[in-house]
Structure 1
Amino acid sequence: MRKIVHVDMDAFYASVEQRDNPALKGKAVVVAWKGPRSVVCAASYEARRFGVHSAMAVSRALRLCPHAEYVGPDFNKYREASRQVREVFARHTDLIEPLSLDEAYLDVTENKGGLASATEVAQTIRAQILADTGLTASAGVAPNKFLAKIASDWNKPDGLFVLRPRDVLDFLTPLPVRKVPGVGAVMQGKLEQMGILTVGDLSNRSLAELEQRFGRYGRRLYELARGIDDRPVEPDQLAQQVSAETTFEDDRLLSDLGEVIDKLAERVWEQALRKRGRGFTVTLKLKTDRFRSLTRSVTSPVLPASAQALADMARQMRARVELPASTRYRLVGVGMSNFPDADGLSRPRQADLFADLPVEGPPAEEEQP
C-alpha cells in the first residue's frame, strides 16, 4: 500500500506578498491586475472571509472587499518560492509530481530520511517549508492521490490531516458528491437527478448502472466512491500542453492582435522549453465582445523552430476566423500541444488547450498587455 502526501501551499501568491511586505500581514490581500476585465489570481484568507476567491472578476472582488490591498502579481517571485518548496520535497523523496506552482503529490512509501511514518514526513516537510520560505503549507496523508488531495484541504490553512486506510469509507460516505474529481456543476446536476447527493449515495450504485450512464467515467466514479485510486505519483512528466492568454481592458479588432499574439507565443515558447518539449499543434483562442469563444488549430509535420515560428503560425490562423472584420475581441490566447513521445513521434491525442486552470491563478498566468 502506498503512502501519499499531497502538499498545498496556503493562499500561495497572496502569502508570498504578505511575507515580502510586512505592511500587508493580517490584511485582506488580493493579487490581481486592477482593471474592469481582470480576474483575481489569489486572495489571502482575510479577503476570502468576504467571499473573494481566485478566478473571480476583480470588479466583483472590489464590490465584496473594497478595503483590500490589491497587488499586481509577480510570477518570477512565485516561481522562486515554488522552487524552494520543491527543494524541500526532494530531501524526502524523488517521487514528486507537481500539479502547479503551489501543490504537488509525493510518494513517501519509502522516504530518504528514514522517518517512521508518512505523518512524520508530512510534519517535517511543513516545518522545513516554513523555515526555508516563511510560508505555510497544508498537507494530506492518505493511501492514494485522490484521498490525499481531499485530505490536504481538510484542515486549511496551515494544517495536516491524516486519512488512514481503515477510516476511508467512513470519511467518504457523508461527503458531497462534488468532492469527487471531475464532478463539476454539470456532472453534479446529472448525479443529483439520479438522487446521488453524497459519495455514499454514489457508492450504492452498481458499476453497470454508472458505466451505462457515463461510459468510461462511470467506472472512475464507481472506484473513487470506494476510495480506489491506483494512479502512481509520476515525476518528470512530459509536457502535454502549454498555453497563455490575456484579456483586454478594451475590445480589439482581429487585425490589431498581431503584437499581442507575438508576446503570448514567446511566453508559450518559454514554458515549452522549461518543460523540455515543443508541440506539433498550435492553437489560437479568441473570445468576442459578446463572449463567443472560438479556437483555430493547425498541426505541422515538423516542430516549430522558434518563438517567432510559433507566433507566425498563430497569426496565420486569423485568416481562418470567419466572423466579420468589424468583430471585436476581449480575449486572445496561444497554445501548443501534441508533444512528441520519447521516440520523436506525435502523440496520438491532442490535449484540450486552455481547459485546465492553475489552482492559484488565471489561465497560464494571464498578463495585461
Structure 2
Amino acid sequence: MSTRQRHIAHLHLHAALSEAQYGDIIELMSGITPHVQAVPPDAVQLDLTSALRYFDLSPYDMVQTAMMRLKLFYDIDSSAGLANNRMLASMAADASAPGDTTWVPDGQAADWLYPRPVTALPGIGRATADTLGRHGLHAIGHVTDMPPATLQRLLGAGPARLLAERARGHDPRPVTPSEPAAHLVADLVFERDCLDPARHHRAVLGLAEQIGRRLRGESRIASRLALTVRYADRSSTTRTRGLPEPTNHSPALAATALGLLTALGLQRARVRAFAIRADGLLPAGSAYRQLSLDPGDARARAAEAAADRARRRFGQEAVGPAALRTDRYGPG
C-alpha cells in the first residue's frame, strides 16, 4: 500500500526576532497549515502535505505564498528549502540564497546529496568529519559508495548506521507543533491595492468561510474574531469582537467579521490585505450551542455539514457560498 508523499518546507528568516515576533510568525504560518514546528531562533518548518489540496497550489507555489506573507506582514526576507522530509528541507534551505527556494523533488535526493560535503549532514561534528576525511570521505556520495562494514569499522555500528541513513536522505521525523495553535488565521493578499467595497466584502466573507471550515475540520470552536486590514502604505488597523456564542458555524463567523468590516468604514481605503484571526479556541464538544426554534438554522447547519463532506471528497472548490462565486478572492 502506497503512502502519500510528504512536502516539507524549511524557511530561514533573515531577521533578528524577539520572542514575541517569532510567536507572531508561527501564528501567521498556521494560516497556511496547522503543522508548523518552531526551529529557534530564526527558522520554521511547515508540513504542507494536507495544505496543498486545500489551497489548490503546487508545493513550490505554496512555499512562495508563505514567503510572500512573511514579507508583506512583517517585512522579513527568507530563504527556503522544500523536500519530502525535514532533514532534506533544512539542507536545501541552507543551500538557498535570500529570496530563493531550493526544491529537492522526490526521487532526486540521492543525486542532489551526492556531491555535497559530508559536513552538510546534521550531526557531523569536527571529530567525525576528521575521521571521515582521513579516509577520503569528503562528499556525501563517498559515504553512500562505501561498504557498510567498512563504515562500521571507522565509526562503530550505531553511528555508521545513522550516518548511512542520513547520507541516503532518509529522515522519518514528523513536523510536530509544540502544542495546538492558540489561534487560527486566514489571510488574503490582493494582487493590486483594492478600493472596491464589494470586493472587500467578498474577501472578508471568504476568509470567514475559511476559518469556519478549518475550525470544523479540527473539531474546535472560536469565541472571538479579530479583523486586520493592511493598507497600501503598510499601515494597518485591527478590530476585535466577541462572538455571541462560541461557534464554528460559518454564517455566524461571517456575520461578526462583516460587522467588524462595516465598523471600519473603508469606503475609499486602498487595501492591500485582510486577515481574520479566531481566538479563544475550545474543543467543539466543550460548549453548548444555544437552542434555536428556527428550522432554517438546523437546515443551514445540515447543509454546511454536507458541503464539508463534499469538499473532503472532491476538493475545496467543490462547494462554496454563492456570494463568492462571482469573484475568487484569493491572491492573483
- Give the structure-1-normalised TM-score: 0.45
Whose helix proportion is higher, 1 or 2?
2
Larger radius of gyration between Structure 1 and Structure 2: 2
